[in-house]
Structure 1
Amino acid sequence: MRVGVLTGGGDCPGLNAVIRAIVRKGVQEYGYDFTGFRDGWRGPLEGATVRLDIPAVRGILPRGGTILGSSRTNPLHEEDGIDRIKEHIAELEVDAIITIGGEDTLGVATVLSDEHGVPCVGVPKTIDNDLSATDYTFGFDTAVNIATEAIDRLHTTAESHMRVLVVEVMGRHAGWIALHSGLAGGANVILIPEQPFDVEQVCTWVTSRFRASYAPIVVVAEGATPREGDMILKDQSLDSFGHVRLSGVGEWLAKEIEKRTGKEARTTVLGHVQRGGTPSAFDRWLATRFGLHAIDCVRDRDFGKMVSLRGTDIVRVPIADATSRLKTVDPKLYEEVGVFFG
C-alpha cells in the first residue's frame, strides 16, 4: 500500500512528530510506502510530492513547522479541483491520504471521503484547540506555554513603568489560548471571542488594579469584539477559505484604555511566535500518538475517520464530527476565572 501524507493550514508545533510516527510505524510494521504531498492540498491538486521514508523523518521530532510545507489552498474552490486530485493520486498509485490539519483542511477531507470516495484519515491540528470531538489538539500546549512566558516577562516591565500592557494572542473564534495563558500568567483581564466585552468595564478593572499599586496586564484573543462594535480587522482581504485577516484589537483596546483612563498603555502582539519553534513535551507525546493511531486507521481501512483524544485514550470519530461545529469556551468556565479580574 502507498499512503499519502499532507499538512494543511497554519504551521503548528508537533506536525513533524505526527509525520515521523506515521512513517516509522507504517514502514517498520506494515511495509507501506509513503508519498509526501507538498504544501497542503496544493500537493495532490498539482501532483507536487516529496520523498517520505525513514531517513527523511530522522531527527524531526523536536522541529517546529512541517517538513512537507503547508498552505491554505482550497481545492473545492479550484476549477475541476476534485477531479485533479483524484487524477494525481491515481497516477501516483496512492491508496489513502492521511490529512493533518484543522477545520478547513479536514473539511476538504470530509468532502473528498464522504462524497467522492477518496480514502482519507484525519489528524486534528490547531493551536486554537477549537476542533470538536477531541479533548485537545497538539500545538495548543506549546502556544499556551509561549504566551504564558511572555505574560510573565511583561509583568515586570509593566510594573517598572506603571503602565497597562495589552497582550494580543491568537484565537479567531475560540478563546482557549487567551483563557489558559491569561490564567496561568496572572493576567488581570482576559477577553475572548465567546464573550463580547464592555470597554468601560475593562477600564474599571484597569483602574482598580492601579489603586492597588500594581500595573495591569490585559490578555485579549485576536477575535474578541467589543459589545458595541464589530471585529477588529487588519484589512478586508480573505484567504481561500473565506477567512479575514485578524489582528488589531489589542492596539485598538490599548488606545481606548489610554484615552478613557489617562494611563499609559502599550500593546504586545505575539502573533506567529505562538506557533513557531520547538513543540512542548506534551505536544510531542500527543502528536506521536496521533500518528501511530492514524496509520492503524489506514491499515484497518477505516476511512472517513479522525483520531481523537478522549481522556487518555486515542479513539476514532468521523472527520465530520470535528468540523461540524467549533469547540468554544463554556460561559461557566469563563465566569469561573472572573474572580481574578481587576
Structure 2
Amino acid sequence: MGEKKRIGILTSGGDCAGLNAVIRAVVHHAMGTYGWEVVGIREATHGLMTRPPQVMEFELDKLDSLLLMGGTILGTTNKGDPFAFPMGDGTLRDRSQEIIDGYHSLGLDALIGIGGDGSLAILRRLAQQGGINLVGIPKTIDNDVGATEVSIGFDTATNIATEALDRLHFTAASHNRVMILEVMGRDAGHIALAAGIAGGADIILIPEIPYQMENVCQKIRQRQEMGKNFCLVMVSEAVRTEVGDQLTELKAAGEDRLGGIGKYLAEQIALKTGAETRVTVLGHIQRGGMPSPVDRLLGSAFGVAAVDLIAQGKYDQMVAWQNRQIVSVPIAEAINTYRSVDPEETLVKTARGLGICLGD
C-alpha cells in the first residue's frame, strides 16, 4: 500500500462532460486501492485563494451517480489569471502565493489538475513556483491538446453536434432550406469536421482550411441542379470571413467572444444563390448533458492513471491517450504542442472522398 497520502483534485477552465467521471475514478482508486485521503478543491484555483480554502470531502459510498453527471461537482472557472488577478478597484495583483499557501495549508502531498492547455500552463507555473506535486489530466471539447489523441469532453460534444445536424436535416428537406450549424472550436475544427462527416453535412468549414465563398455557393447550386433543394452546412465558430476577418460578439460584460460566422455565411449564401437560409448556433449545449460512454471510459481511465502516477512519485506529468493506451508525458511538452486539424489527415481525406465541400 505504501505511505498514506492526502491528495487534492480540481477542475479548471471551461466545463465539459466527463469531468465527474474523472473525479469518481480518482476518489475510488485513491481511497479504495491505496487508502489515501482525497480533497476536492472548489472553483479551481479560486478555492485555494479563500481562507480557509473551499474544499469538498468525499465518501466512497456516494460516488456512483457521478458517472452520469455532466459539468463538474467541484465547480470551475476560466477567469482570473492568478499571476495578474483582476481586483475590484481595477488593478491587477499577483495572487499566486495565496494559491500556493492554500495548497500547503491543506496538507496535500499532490494535486491532480484537470484542464486544457491554458489551465495546465497556469497550474504548472504554480507548481514550479510553490513546490506542488502536480499531475495533469487533459480536458477540452476542442480536442486541441497536442500530446493526446483525445481529451475528455470531445466525444460528447461531437455526439451533440451530430444529433443537432441529424435533426436539422429533416426540417431543411421539408422547407428546401440551407441550414447552417455553427459549433464550438476556439482555434481548431475537430468538432465541426467529425460531426459534419457523421451527420452528413454537404459543406464543412473549419479554420485550418481557407475557403472561397464561390466554392461554397457552387456546391449549393450543384445540389439544386440535382433536384436537391436543401443543404447542410457545418461551420466552426473560429472560421473567419472570406477576407480573413474574425467575427466576435460583444457580451453584456463587455467581453468579445467568437461568434457570428453562421450569420455571415447565411447572408452571403442568400445573396449569391437566392436560397432560403437558417442558422443554428449550438453554443454551450455542446458542453452540457450526460457524458457519452466514451467520455465516461476515458475519464475513468485517466483518473486511475493519474493516481498511479502519484503512487509512483511521477510528477509534472500529464496522462494522455496514444495508440489505444494510457501514457504519461511531461506537462511542458503537452502544453507546448497544439493539435489543430491537419489538412492532410484521415478525416479531411474522408470528407473529400465523400464529396463534402470544404470550401477550398
**What residue identity is the alignment partner of 1:68?**
L
Pairing 1:135-154 to 2, within 5 Å after superposition: 135-154=149-168
From 66, 75, 83, the counterpart of 2:82? 75
- Change over 3 Å in CA distance of 1:237–1:124 after alignment to 2: farther
Q: Give, as a single letter, the amino acid of the residue that structure 2 aligns with 1:109.
A: L
Per the alignment, residue 305 of structure 1 pairs with: 317
Q: Distance in 1 between matches of 2:219 and 2:274?
A: 14
Assess if the C-alpha contact under 8 Å between 2:7 and 2:38 holds in 1.
Answer: yes
Residue in 2 aligned with 1:225? 240
Are 1:277 and 2:280 counterparts?
no
Q: Contact between 1:196 and 1:226, CA under 8 Å: does it hold in 2?
A: no
Cα distance change on mapping 1:247 and 1:56 into 2, 3 Å: farther
Indicate the residue corresponding to 2:19 in structure 1.
15
Q: CA deviation at 1:56?
A: 4.5
SS of structure 1 residue aligned to 2:68: coil
Q: TM-score, normalised by structure 2?
A: 0.90
- How far apart, CA to CA, are the structure 1 residues paired with 2:107 and 2:64? 25
User: Superposition pairs for residues 117-136 of structure 1, below 5 Å?
Assistant: 117-136=131-150
Moved more, 196-205 or 272-281: 196-205
Counterpart amino acid of residue 67 in structure 1: I
**Which of 248, 261, 266 does residue 278 from structure 2 map onto?**
266
Distance 1:43 1:76 in 2: 15
CA distance in 1, matches of 2:70, 2:6: 26
Identity among equivalent pairs (%): 43
Conserved in 2, the CA contact under 8 Å of 1:203 and 1:261?
yes
In structure 2, the residue matched to 1:253 is 265
1:55 is displaced (CA, Å) by 3.9
> Structure 1 residue 40 and structure 2 residue 44: aligned?
yes
Partner residue in 2 for 1:327: 339
User: Matches of 1:5 and 1:337 in 2, distance apart?
Assistant: 40
Kept in 1, the 8 Å contact 2:188–2:206? The answer is yes
- Indicate how the Cα distance of structure 1 residues 318 and 226 shifts in structure 2: closer, same or farther if over 3 A, else same: same
| C-alpha contact (below 8 Å) 2:241/2:261 kept by paired residues | no
Structure 1: how far apart are the matches of 2:185 and 2:213? 19
Separation of aligned partners in 2, 1:127 and 1:175: 11
Give the 4+ runs in structure 1 shifted more than 4 A.
236-239
**2-structure distance, mates of 1:298, 1:238:** 40
**How many Å separate the matches in 2 of 1:324 and 1:68?**
27
Give the match for residue 329 of structure 2. Answer: 317
Question: Matches of 1:330 and 1:66 in 2, distance apart?
Answer: 31
CA displacement 1:44-88 (0-9 Å, x = unmatched): 222221223324523110111111011113212222322101111
2: CA distance, partners of 1:5 / 1:34: 7
Letter in 1 for 2:250: D
Cα distance between partner residues in 2 of 1:233 and 1:102: 22
Deviation of 1:300 (Å): 1.5
Native 8 Å contact 1:36 1:49 kept in 2: yes
The 8 Å contact of residues 13 and 283 in structure 1, kept in 2 or not, is answered as yes
CA–CA distance in structure 1, aligned partners of residues 235 and 256 of structure 2:
18
135-144 or 77-86, larger mean C-alpha shift: 77-86
C-alpha distance in 1 between matches for 2:283 and 2:270: 23
Count of equivalent residues = 339
Q: Which residue of 2 aligns with 1:158?
A: 172
CA shift, 1:244, in A, is: 4.6
Provide the rounded CA distance (Å) in 2 between the counterparts of 1:138 and 1:17: 10
Q: What is the DSSP-based 3-state SS (H/G/I as helix, E as strand, rest coil) of the residue aligned with 2:10?
A: strand
Q: Taking structure 1 as the reference length, what is the TM-score of the superposition?
A: 0.94
Q: Secondary structure at the match of 2:7?
A: strand
The alignment yields a C-alpha RMSD, in angstroms, of 1.8
C-alpha distance 314-326 of structure 1, shift in aligned 2 (>3 A): same
Instruction: Answer whether contact 1:20 1:60 (CA < 8 A) is retained.
Output: yes
Return the offset for 1:259: 1.3
Q: 1:315 to 1:244 in 2, by over 3 A?
A: farther
SS, match of residue 225 in structure 1 = coil
Contact 1:237 1:245 in 2 (8 A): no
Task: Tell me which residue corresponds to 1:190.
Answer: 204
**d(CA) in 2 for partners of 1:96, 1:234:** 40
Residue 177 (1) aligns with residue 181 (2): no
Match in the other structure for 1:210: 224
Match among 62, 65, 74 for residue 71 of structure 2:
65
Q: Which amino acid aligns with 1:76?
A: F
Distance (Å, rounded) in 2 between the aligned partners of 1:45 and 1:201: 52
